[in-house]
A = this chain, B = another copy of it.
Amino acid sequence: MSASPQHENTHEHLRLLAGNLDSGALSKIEAQLNELHPAEIANLLESLPLQNRRIVWELTNPELAGDILVEVNDEVRLGLIEHTDEDDLVAAVGSLDTDDLADIFEDLPKVVLHQVVRAMSNQDRRRLQSVMSYDEDSAGGLMNPDMVTIRPNVDLGVVLRYLRQRSELPANTDKLFVVDRDDRYLGILNISDLLTTNSKESVSNTMITDQKALLPTLSANEVALFFEDYNLVSAPVVDEDNRLLGRITVDDVVDVIRDEADRSLLSLAGLDEDDDMFAPVTRSAKRRAVWLGINLFTAFLAAWVIGIFAATIEQVVALAVLMPIVASMGGIAGSQTLMLVIRGIALNQIGTTNARWLLWKELAVGSLNGILWACVVAAITGFWFQSQSLGLLIGVALVINLIVAALAGATIPLTLKKMNIDPAIAGGVILTTVTDVIGFFSFLGLATVFLI
């Protein structure tokens, strides 16, 4: 009867599983998997190399297969689907919620889809179409049509009896949606108010009318910020005519926040959060090659700038020794501004009104740090190469590059955002190209003019 306080994490599950895989104790693996929730099994599958992943997938309880497919990332899902019989797939995804089915719809083989859709009720089919008509990363794509609606003109006792007639409520039902005869959204009745208010009271007197509803076109990021701001468990989605389409629940919002976090982190390195950590070597290599190729192009651009000043370097080889310092300091300073602005954009905290303020501030910070570190670098350089003029030169180049870095770090993400390009993906590459080129050009250019 007593519940176990021991919550074990993926780490521990993984260790246990690896031991059983090594010793080939398949029945032990089955027993271990039976203790786990679909999301935990999904995590485990993502953490396993391909061969082991297949073994574990085959030992998984087929009843959980549908939910596991929803939880794993896109590439892992495709791999698992490839290794599952069509009949098993139909059974696995046939029982999924409409919004979950919509999420994985396009990954499923046509034959399977055909069978699943044919077995659906007309209502479910309409719901699926409705969810799938919206972008996956929008309120419409996140919403679930499965919810409890009530009319305003009944009393709470009627609502309680109505709920008791149902054997269960949709998951995360913290509120009921009050609609009129035409399904127009009027307000919400919180379950907690239903429980604490006299059952003779009417719904219209108990309901809350100032809970804002979301339009289906709102981006998933905006939905997440909305849930964060209002500490919501669920929120209604309505169309332009205020007709209730469905609701979004916090469990899906949590996934949105996690996915976006993963995306902005990984996209800095040109990676996709939906890639499989254990994808075959050739596939991973191919994917990453693209990013390396883009960066190679910018590296050759920098090399070309250095090449312009080859004759100068030939005369003063110290320039070659010192030039990476100017470029690298610019890159670091610029990325500080860049990250700050990328985060501000993601949180909706930077708009045209305060962008100018921020730019001035970043320029001031860049100048101050430029001057500070220019002095340090000039002193060390002067001492190292016994040349005050070389020290002065690198100092001036550093100030220039740090100011340019602040300017680039602030304007690049804002410009990309305006062009509807994710600043996290392209921002870093463009920034380092700018700071490398300006860094090398200012330092070597100044040297050519004043030193030779």
Contacts and interface: CB of A to CB of B under 8 A. Distances in A.
A168 interface: yes
A40 B229 contact: yes
A358 B49 CA distance: 8
A288 B369 contact: yes
B228 A361 contact: no
B231 A338 contact: no
Q: How many copies does the complex hold?
A: 2
The 7 A-B pairs of least Cβ separation, nearest first, read: A261-B261, A320-B320, A231-B251, A18-B353, A39-B229, A285-B368, A169-B192
Contact of A172 (B2, B174, B303): B174
B313 A317 contact: yes
Most chain B CB within 10 A, of A196, A273, A285, is at A285
Contacts of A335: 268-269
A257 interface: yes
Contact of A277 (B209, B260, B349): B349
Given A227-B254, A233-B174, A295-B328, A191 B195 contact: yes
Interface in A243-268: 250-251, 253-255, 257-258, 260-262, 264-266, 268
A167 to B, nearest CB: 6
Nearest to A345: B11
Contacts of A37: 229-230
Interface in A340-359: 340, 342-344, 347-354, 357-358
10 contacts: A6-B212, A18-B354, A43-B349, A47-B350, A172-B233, A231-B251, A254-B257, A257-B258, A278-B361, A292-B373
Given A254-B254, A268-B335, A306-B320, 6 more contacts: A164-B198, A172-B233, A260-B261, A261-B265, A265-B343, A270-B332
A9 interface: yes
A283 to B, nearest CB: 9
A254 B251 contact: no
Interface string A283-322: 0110011011101101110110011001001100111111
Given A281-B368, A377-B296, A164 B196 contact: yes
Interface string A69-94: 00000000000000000000000000
B229 A339 contact: no
A390 interface: no
Contacts of A361: 49, 278, 281, 284
A324 B339 contact: no
B321 A307 contact: yes
B3 A187 contact: yes
A156 to B, nearest CB: 10
A191, A210, A282, A303: residue with the most chain B Cβ atoms closer than 10 Å:
A303
A380 interface: yes
A25 interface: no
Given A43-B348, A313-B317, A327-B324, A212 B5 contact: yes
A214 interface: yes
Contacts of A2: 184-186, 209, 242
A339 B174 contact: no
A111 interface: no
A311 to B, nearest CB: 8
Nearest to A251: B231
Contacts of A265: 261, 264-265, 268, 339, 342-343
A133 interface: no
Contacts of A369: 285, 288-289, 292
A238 interface: yes
A40 to B, nearest CB: 5
A271 B340 contact: yes
A372 interface: yes
A336 interface: yes
A3 to B, nearest CB: 5
Contact of A185 (B3, B168, B336): B3
